[in-house]
Amino acid sequence: MKQDMKEQLLTKRPIDLLFQLSIPAVIGMIVIGLYPLMDGIFAGNIIGQTAMTACGVAMPLTFFNSGVSTLLGVGSASVLSRAIGKGDQNTVDKIMGNLIFWVILFSAIITVGGILLAPHFLDMVGATGEIKAYGIRYLRVIFIGSLFVNFTQSANMVMRGEGLMKKAMMIMGLGALLNIILDPILMTVMGEYAIEGAALATITAQFVQAVVTLHYFLKKSKVVKIHKIKSDEKIKKKCLE
């Protein structure tokens, strides 16, 4: 967290800080929800109503990734904020290595489980026929990008823990814009595989977000750096405090 942000936290009125810090975070979370929404809108216009419905039915199942990334991101951001406040650089240096370890582990589980169990997930939400078929094809591509979305969203929360709300929001906005641009292009180019094109547009945008986020923590961040990637017991305990 930069010194000017620390000064603001100590001197600004709480109501001013509330809007300054919360609005970019809220916008960032709204942007996350735009991915399946825009996929559905373009699918409806390019493929048809059935494909749009399939994207809508599949959307709740993508929350497996959102849940994992929120769990890891909020916990890591909380530990980071407390460590920065205490001047505990040793803990700060372990945050991203611990985060990435768990992102890789959970993403691998979700990717394999999602690809294999997509038909059963859709059965649970009542999808049948062509809607189910489109939903399976869409989800199996979406789950391939689990690593990208989980890393981006959880690391984005760590960025907010540094106090960089606007930067975090801009990275999320970049991904949403790319998705909107790529959706009609890939869906048109891929023809009969247009529904896969919608999902591919999403994971491509998320991949770009992940690269930009990774570059920030490797090259730009003056506070949080990526060191050894491993699970850290002390950080796990701090997350439970």
Residue range 186-210, pLDDT digits in tens: 999 998 899 999 999 999 999 999 9
Q: Is residue 41 part of a domain?
A: no
Residue that is written with structure tokens 């975090």 in the block: 168
pLDDT at residue 241 in the model: 62
Q: Greatest CA span in the chain, whole angstroms?
A: 60
d(CA 32, CA 22): 16
Q: Is residue 228 part of a domain?
A: no
Q: Which residues contact 111 (CB under 8 A, 6 or more apart)?
A: 143, 144, 146, 147
Position 142 pLDDT exceeds 60: yes
pLDDT band at residue 133 using 50, 70 and 90 as cut-offs? very high
Q: Is residue 235 part of a domain?
A: no
d(CA 135, CA 121): 10
**Residue numbers of the domain that contains 97:** 57-222
pLDDT band at residue 3 using 50, 70 and 90 as cut-offs? very low
Position 100 pLDDT exceeds 90: yes
Q: Is residue 40 part of a domain?
A: no
What value, to the nearest 5°, has the Cα angle with vertex 62 and ends 101 and 122?
Answer: 130
Average pLDDT score over residue span 165-188: 88
Contact in structure between 165 and 20 (CB atoms under 8 Å): yes
Average pLDDT score over residue span 27-49: 78
Whole-prediction pTM: 0.84
Report how many domains make up the chain. 1
Q: Is residue 36 part of a domain?
A: no
Q: Is residue 238 part of a domain?
A: no
pLDDT band at residue 25 using 50, 70 and 90 as cut-offs? low
pLDDT at residue 161 in the model: 76
Each residue of 4-15: pLDDT tens digit?
555 555 566 667
pLDDT at residue 201 in the model: 92
Q: What is the 3-state secondary structure (H, E, C) of 202-226?
A: HHHHHHHHHHHHHHHHHHHCCCCCC
Q: Is residue 168 part of a domain?
A: yes
> What's the chain's average pLDDT?
84
Q: Which residues contact 156 (CB under 8 A, 6 or more apart)?
A: 28, 73, 168, 171, 172, 213
Q: Is residue 155 part of a domain?
A: yes
